[in-house]
Amino acid sequence: MVRRIWLLTYTVVAICFVIIPDAAKGELCQPASCGDFLDIRYPFHLKNASPRQNCLKTLDYPAELSCQHNRTILNLYDGTYYVKAIDYELFRIRLVDPGLLSDSCSFRPLHRLTDSNFTPDYSPDQYNPVSEHYAAFFDCSFPVESPDYVNITCSSSSTTLYSYVTVADGVDDLHSSCNMSTIILGNYEETGKALSFSSIHDELRQGFELSWWQFVPEKYCYSPSQSLYCFREHLKRGFIRAAKITGLSLMARMVLGIIFLLAFWSYKLYWKKFLKDDAVEKFSAVCNDLMRRRYSCSDIKKMTIDFKIKLSQGAYWKKFIKDDAVEEFLDAYKNLMPRRYSYSDIKKMTNDFKDKLGQGGFGSVFKGELSNGHLVAVKMLSGSKGKGQDFINEVATIGRIHHVNVVQLIGFCSQGSKRALVYDFMPNGSLDNYIFPERGKNLLLGWDSMHEIALGVARAIEYLHQGCDMQILHFDIKPHNILLDENFTSKISDFGLAKFYPRDNNTVSLTAVRGTMGYMAPEMFYRSIGGVSYKADVYSFGMLLLEMTGRRKNLNAHAEHSSQIYFPSWIYDQLEKGLSIEIEDAGEDKKIAKKMVMVALCCIQLMPVNRPSMSKVIEMLEGDVELLQMPPKPFFCPQEMPMEDPPDDTDVEEVSALSNESATEMTSMV
């Protein structure tokens, strides 16, 4: 109990020490000026100013302004912006794009800038946008009749394009005839009201605001003699900003701060569910050490991390590394990413996760709706593996490609441990509901529809293999990952196992087996038959085709005859003997069924070199069945197959643990 009282005392004394201004330090630099801008001071400094005015430059402080033709300039993300105002009390700077100051009817910002340019405030970035509203500029091939699109086309323009600008808190959809030319931040309180050309122009000329209150002059903290001053400045700016917004006096701030801290630590110390019994002693030891010695900011950060590691037995540090890997990826490709949502946005669009669509090993999927009424499916990821690699794979693939047969990723959320992917909503669900009667839906599709679905999947895979600068291998083609829109157009989803590699490479190296049992190519297990390449997706597509034609799993332990247990082997024997393909509900469409089966058998050949490319597969599916030649019988080993259907989502580690005996037996048979 005594130790807890000492801990609270330390905390109160430290906060009181922090919020008392250090009068002895005085002003760090004299104000500089540029034209009519007479008050450029800490935390900014003016390039090429006098030594006394430019004293912060010796600290390599990043907030550098320049003066050109009596205009104050800030260079931000490779763009040049005019400084219109600086509010040192609310820690805000107002900027304007030079292109918006033009009086021409074709005014456009010279630079593209959205909140995606700014990383979250736990990163080393210096600025954050105050407003989340944008002004987006579009060029359209045809006139657009929409109250949200304000026409800015010049009457004297010789171009055949129509130009529009819209103001919103995000760009969720785009007119089919339009392309977005650029987008810029803007300060708009009401985005739903009717706007005119002149009002938008006037608003944009006023610029947009960025906040810098979380600035930290890190290099200034490296000096041991200045470490406590640095620490005070960190918290003092936060207290001042809150006070300016709320209008509280210094004494009121101190009283409220002390009350809050007392309540907070009482809650943390006495609520055993949230804090271990020995946490107080550990934290008290840290406080004692801090009071006895002086540390630099980097030392304090290190001790904080060490304390968290001890407290959580390593769990926090592992999570930090994983989150850092994801944020590094998102920062590196932020200009290529779809929209980034906050977790509160996700909760709002899903109505607090009320409409659950499904559950899988990845997490849960919920139905949602954007502000414009567009329906979406929100996948909340849980148990992310490999430093968030599955999340990175999804965003890196679906987020950067657009194909009619690939599900569209509208946006994502990465906020601490919360990760979500926002897709177009597919009202007809996944393909497995229509080909496996045991799912209980009795929603069988006609053979023409099945053929079109298969063609769509084939075209999507062919695009992944050949339509991009880098080959994209999906590694998990199966009915559950084929979604159907309102017109039953097939769309490939779930790129969590996908891998990129150069198109001129013949094989790709893998550190572990990827895929789902029953759809994985044999070279995943037995490297002696060939390296892993795009032919692995061809094999998976072949197994998918067979399940579509058989309306059943390829492995059926409950078949009437033992020869029918493994469907690929049985169907090949039927074709080879010239017997009729007894496929359920085939009717007059047996030619389509036969063609799909023969293409599938070509795709599941044992040796990768004997499988066709997806371009050839499309050619065969679109051609006449009479032109197809009977392929060699694929190598089947039903004696090695389990007697029950494997689960849809097989753990990678479990798959890779196949015995060496099976591998040796397979190799000897080849």
Binding-site residue numbers for ATP are 379
Name the residue among 49, 79, 46, 51 with its Cα closest to residue 63.
Answer: 46
CA distance 214 to 217: 10
Report yes or no: 224 and 105 within 8 Å, Cβ to Cβ. no
* Alpha carbon distances (Å) from 523 to 230, 472, 500, 509, 542: 59, 18, 18, 12, 15
* Alpha carbon distances (Å) from 590 to 325, 582, 595, 627: 51, 9, 8, 15
Q: What's the token pair of residue 296?
A: 């630099």
Q: What's the token pair of residue 528?
A: 């002696």
What is the edge-to-edge ordering of all strands in the sheet holding 162-168?
150-151, 162-168, 133-140, 178-186
The alpha-helical segments, DSSP class H, found in 65-213 are 197-205
Report yes or no: 175 and 158 within 8 Å, Cβ to Cβ. no
DSSP run (H or E) holding 500: strand 499-502
Q: What's the token pair of residue 255?
A: 């009283």
How far is residue 524 CA from its own chain's centroid? 28
Q: Residues 242, 245, 251, 256: what is their CA dihedral angle, to the nearest 10 degrees?
A: -50
Q: Residues 321, 324, 329, 330: what is their CA dihedral angle, to the nearest 10 degrees?
A: 150
CA distance 358 to 215: 43
The beta-strand segments (E) located in 189-336 are: 208-211
Which residues are CB-neighbours of 483 under 8 A, at least 6 positions away?
407, 426, 428, 429, 430, 431, 490, 491, 492, 493
CA distance 520 to 530: 14
Name the residue among 313, 316, 413 with its Cα closest to residue 363.
Answer: 413
The backbone region for 247, taken as left when phi is positive above 0, alpha when psi lies in -120 to 50, beta otherwise, is left
CA distance 53 to 30: 5
Binding residue numbers: 379
Report yes or no: 496 and 393 within 8 Å, Cβ to Cβ. yes
494 is catalytic: no
Name the residue among 83, 137, 93 with its Cα closest to residue 111.
Answer: 137
Hey, which residues does 379 pair with through a beta bridge?
A: 365, 421
Helix/strand/coil percentages in the chain, nearest 5: 40, 20, 40
Let me know how many helices (H) and strands (E) the chain has, helices first. Answer: 18, 23
DSSP class of residue 129? E
Q: What's the token pair of residue 513?
A: 């087996």
Name the residue among 324, 406, 277, 409 with its Cα closest to residue 119.
Answer: 324
Mode of pairing for the β-strands spanning 64-68 and 71-76 = antiparallel
Given the residues 97, 115, 323, 476, select the one marked as catalytic.
Answer: 476
SS3 357: strand
**Torsions phi, psi for 362 (to 5 deg):** -80, -25
Residues classed as catalytic: 476
